[in-house]
Amino acid sequence: MSATRVEELETPVLTIDLDRVERNIESMQAYCDEHELAFRPHTKTHKLPQVARMQVDAGAVGLTCQKLGEAEVMADAGFGDIMVTYPLVGWQKAERLADLAGRVAMSVVGDSAVVAGGLSEVLAERGVTVDFLVECDTGFGRTGVQTPVEAAELAECVSALPGLRFAGLMTYPSLAPSGPWLKEARAETEKRGLEVASVSGGGTPRARHTHELGVITELRAGTYVYGDRTCIALDCMTLDDCAVHVLATVVSRPTPDRAILDTGSKALTSDPVPVEGIDGFGYLLEHPEAAVYALNEEHGYVDVSLCDAKPEVGDVVRVLPNHVCVAVNLQDDVVVHRSGEVVDIWPVAARGKLR
Amino acid sequence: MSATRVEELETPVLTIDLDRVERNIESMQAYCDEHELAFRPHTKTHKLPQVARMQVDAGAVGLTCQKLGEAEVMADAGFGDIMVTYPLVGWQKAERLADLAGRVAMSVVGDSAVVAGGLSEVLAERGVTVDFLVECDTGFGRTGVQTPVEAAELAECVSALPGLRFAGLMTYPSLAPSGPWLKEARAETEKRGLEVASVSGGGTPRARHTHELGVITELRAGTYVYGDRTCIALDCMTLDDCAVHVLATVVSRPTPDRAILDTGSKALTSDPVPVEGIDGFGYLLEHPEAAVYALNEEHGYVDVSLCDAKPEVGDVVRVLPNHVCVAVNLQDDVVVHRSGEVVDIWPVAARGKLR
């Protein structure tokens, strides 16, 4: 691609507005600095060492990854402090974690003695030590121990295991009820004579309320760096904050009311916006009245009945995705621009990485 | 990965049962042979030259691709007859099509004079000719001309354009109403003195009813080769036909009723089964009573309350995906086995390929 303006690129293509990315990074780091929170941005949103570098240069203490494969990419790119916020199960993952721990400072999370024990066995054998945070389900209903007492008990178990260093408590996402929950878990843990060095909370939607909880010492957030339609629906970012768009071409206008884009679930994801009353699979910047009412893998179905100026075959439109992390994972490379002027093309180095 | 049994592989991982693939290929080819239908399997499901080779060796007349990028992979792998069933818009795509047409027999589809004209200009300039089929919307409501007369008019337009050879009519999917629609379109087209060399229909669910329509000469189908939860819900394949499973590990059992798998939308897709009354995001072979009730990118939420033997942390389970084409697109490589014995690992050569 030798185009110099994003509109000239072959579609579909995911573009990143670097000015907006810089602004988002600065703003969230300033929030954390103001409230003396350590900031550990989640790389699952961008999957790019280039953006991770901007985040660390701005003041982040380290990175968050969801998969070991992502952590390996970031370690290879020179980052020295990585937390994998996912329970690692199985000997292959323990061995890979040991490899990483021999090169960089690693921390992991888990919600059971089975997970901790499996890691400990391999890490101790390999002579390396990894920080372990107890994952707490403070209301989301996914992974995590179910009560503050369970958290303290697992902390006690972990602190006795070779190869692991008990490093604190972790939750996702941090919501209002997470505050009292984590305070109680910290007290229960300290009652057992253990130090709770870190209480790590996460999630973009409530990120700027983290200090109100009065217990969290470290924030993890990913989506804040790009924004998406869900962030707008949740009222934590504006349309002008959103840095990522998928450029699409109208390939068919079979009826007066229907336009078909060359951008389907294979470029945008079929994830809905998880907010009552918000339908559709993307927002068209050039046609705010249009509704992306369905997706197939390569087709985006757009109802243009309410558009004053209807898009024609060959028109290129910018689509704001529902869920940017997933959209990024579908791209082999992304185009970086400033005000529409292409400045670089980056391979998405940590794309895929299922394991 | 040096494991010899699929159960020993690091998860998540997508596995392909080669015995079942062979059986599915044989069976669909036998159907086409019996009814004297040309068979042009869609490669979007497998994205693998290895499987395409098996399909052509079994008697397929050529391949179907949805994207030029997929066609380029298949042409590089030595396949000589490729149809791209997608309207190609923009000069970059016309140039790439011309490149391909200089190497292999190419056919394309479109539903407007704009699409045909854009291609014609570049192809004629480059001195190559491509077969063009008029895409007909016979009821699905996606792309395609809206009436049989429109089909004939576009056929007439195409037949006058240099660089294009009018080659027939195409629809997706071919359902019961497609029969009369296409017969009328064929008659209208022939009335204008044009030969309708091919009437190409597609889709796995109704594939084996194609001959009943009495007008279709060529069948395109993709999903039949692997099967998925949607195929079972639509009653066109059985559980024992399904060749693809995603192996997942239980990484958390936070409550008596909840298990969390290391397999989320990033390995399975968030596509629902598009059939009323069928919920969830996958079927667990080892725990048929379990319900995969939600997915995040890396987490599969399973309700195990109805399971007699509940899966424990560390257990590996096989998940039948809702929509196999999308699941395949999320894998960098796939593991091929016979009766669970690993026989090969294949890179998914035509994965991604958004353009």
β-strand B316-320 against B244-255: which pairing, if any? Answer: antiparallel
Q: Measuring CA to CA, how many Å separate A132 from each of A87, A100, A110, A160, B307?
A: 10, 15, 7, 12, 32
Q: What percentage of chain A exceeds 90 in pLDDT?
A: 98
What are A199's two structure tokens? 């209480």
Nearest residue on chain A to B267, judged by CA atoms? A354
CB crowding B59-87: b at 16 or more within 10 Å, else e: ebebbbbbbbbbbbbbbeeebebbbbbbb
Q: Which residues of A touch B326 (CB under 8 A)?
A: 265-266, 270, 297
Answer whether B10 sits within 8 Å of A114, measured CB to CB: no
pLDDT over 90 at A352, yes or no: yes
pLDDT over 70 at A207, yes or no: yes
Answer whether A254 sits within 8 Å of B111, measured CB to CB: yes
Q: Which residues of B touch A298 (CB under 8 A)?
A: 66-67, 86
Ordered alpha helix ranges (H), A293-352: 324-329
Indicate the SS3 state at residue A338. strand
Q: Are B300 and B282 in contact (CB under 8 A)?
A: yes
Residue among B11, B89, B142 minimizing CB distance to A313: B89
Long-range contacts formed by B208-212: CB under 8 A, 24+ apart? B208/B31, B208/B236, B209/B176, B210/B35, B210/B37, B210/B174, B211/B35, B211/B37, B212/B179
Q: Are A308 and A284 in contact (CB under 8 A)?
A: no
With a threshold of 0.90, tell me whether the complex ipTM lies above it. yes
List pLDDT tens digits, range A8-63.
999 999 999 999 999 999 999 999 999 999 999 999 999 999 999 999 999 999 99
Residue among B254, B329, B354 minimizing CB distance to A137: B254
Confidence of residue A1 (pLDDT cuts 50, 70, 90): very low
Interval B311-334 mean pLDDT? 97
Helix axes A178-191, A148-159, angle to 10 degrees: 40
Residue among A112, A253, A297 minimizing CB distance to B326: A297
Residue identified by tokens 């973009």 is A204
CA separation for the pair A138, B310 (Å, rounded): 24
Nearest residue on chain B to A334, judged by CA atoms? B354
Give all strands of the β-sheet with A218-220 in edge-to-edge order. Answer: A38-39, A218-220, A198-202, A164-171, A130-136, A105-110, A81-84, A63-65
Answer whether A297 sits within 8 Å of B13, measured CB to CB: no
Which site among A91, A249, A252, A351 would you substitute to test the B interface, given the most B Cβ atoms closer than 10 Å to its Cβ?
A252
List pLDDT tens digits, range B5-49.
999 999 999 999 999 999 999 999 999 999 999 999 999 999 999
Q: Are A88 and A119 in contact (CB under 8 A)?
A: yes
pLDDT over 80 at A247, yes or no: yes
CA separation for the pair A245, A238 (Å, rounded): 14
Please tell me the predicted confidence (pLDDT) of residue A3: 55
* Residue B274: cis peptide before it, omega within 30 degrees of 0: no
Confidence of residue B3 (pLDDT cuts 50, 70, 90): low
CA separation for the pair B197, B211 (Å, rounded): 17
Q: Which residues pair with A302 in a beta bridge?
A: A259, A292
pLDDT over 80 at B211, yes or no: yes
Answer whether B298 sits within 8 Å of A352, measured CB to CB: no
pLDDT over 90 at A160, yes or no: yes
Nearest residue on chain B to A137, judged by CA atoms? B254
CA separation for the pair A90, A99 (Å, rounded): 15
Q: Which residues pair with B38 in a beta bridge?
A: B218
pLDDT over 60 at B50, yes or no: yes
Answer whether A89 sits within 8 Å of B253, measured CB to CB: no
Please tell me the predicted confidence (pLDDT) of residue B1: 47
* Residue B12: cis peptide before it, omega within 30 degrees of 0: yes
Interval A179-204 mean pLDDT? 98
Q: Which residues of B touch A265 (CB under 8 A)?
A: 269, 271, 326
Answer whether B270 sits within 8 Å of A271, measured CB to CB: yes
Indicate the SS3 state at residue B63. strand
Q: Which residues of A touch B300 (CB under 8 A)?
A: none
CA separation for the pair B195, B189 (Å, rounded): 8
A11 phi/psi in degrees, rounded to 5: -110, 165
Q: Are B119 and B163 in contact (CB under 8 A)?
A: yes
Answer whether A325 sits within 8 Å of B262, measured CB to CB: no
pLDDT over 50 at B180, yes or no: yes
Answer whether B301 sits within 8 Å of A111, measured CB to CB: no
Interval A338-345 mean pLDDT? 97
CA separation for the pair B151, B162 (Å, rounded): 19
Q: Which residues pair with B158 in a beta bridge?
A: none
Answer whether B297 sits within 8 Å of A13, measured CB to CB: no
The DSSP symbol for B145 reads B
Pick from A97, A143, A46: which is nearest to B10 by CA? A97
A154 to chain B, minimum CA–CA distance in Å? Answer: 13
Answer whether B297 sits within 8 Å of A44, measured CB to CB: yes
Residue among B44, B299, B313 minimizing CB distance to A89: B313
Q: Which residues of A touch B270 (CB under 8 A)?
A: 269-271, 326
Q: Which residues of B touch A271 (CB under 8 A)?
A: 265, 270
Q: Are B268 and B13 in contact (CB under 8 A)?
A: no
Confidence of residue B187 (pLDDT cuts 50, 70, 90): very high
Answer whether B89 sits within 8 Å of A118, measured CB to CB: no
Residues in chain A: 355
B34 to chain A, minimum CA–CA distance in Å? Answer: 32
A34 to chain B, minimum CA–CA distance in Å? Answer: 32
Q: Which residues pair with B145 in a beta bridge?
A: B136
DSSP sequence for B108-144: EEESSHHHHHHHHHHHHHHT--EEEEEEE-SSS-SSS
End-to-end CA distance of chain B: 31
What are A251's two structure tokens? 């390939």
Q: Which residues pair with B199 in a beta bridge?
A: B169
CA separation for the pair A111, A114 (Å, rounded): 9
Interval B81-99 mean pLDDT? 98
Answer whether A13 sits within 8 Å of B296, measured CB to CB: no
DSSP sequence for A241-260: G--EEEEEEEEEEEETTEEE
Give burial (CB, 10 Å; 0-12/13-18/19+) of B151: buried
Furthest-apart CA atoms within chain B: distance in Å: 71
Indicate the SS3 state at residue A24. helix
What are B109's two structure tokens? 């589809």
What are B349's two structure tokens? 């050569």
B65 to chain A, minimum CA–CA distance in Å? Answer: 11
CA separation for the pair B94, A79 (Å, rounded): 43
Question: What is the count of residue pairs from A and B with beta carbons less than 8 Å apart?
Answer: 157
- The four Cα atoms A177, A181, A184, A185 give a dihedral, to 10 degrees, of -160
Interval B201-228 mean pLDDT? 98
Nearest residue on chain B to A136, judged by CA atoms? B254
Pick from A98, A2, A51: which is nearest to A324 by CA? A51
Hey, how many other C-beta atoms are within 10 angstroms of the C-beta on B256?
Answer: 9
Residue among B253, B271, B296 minimizing CB distance to A265: B271
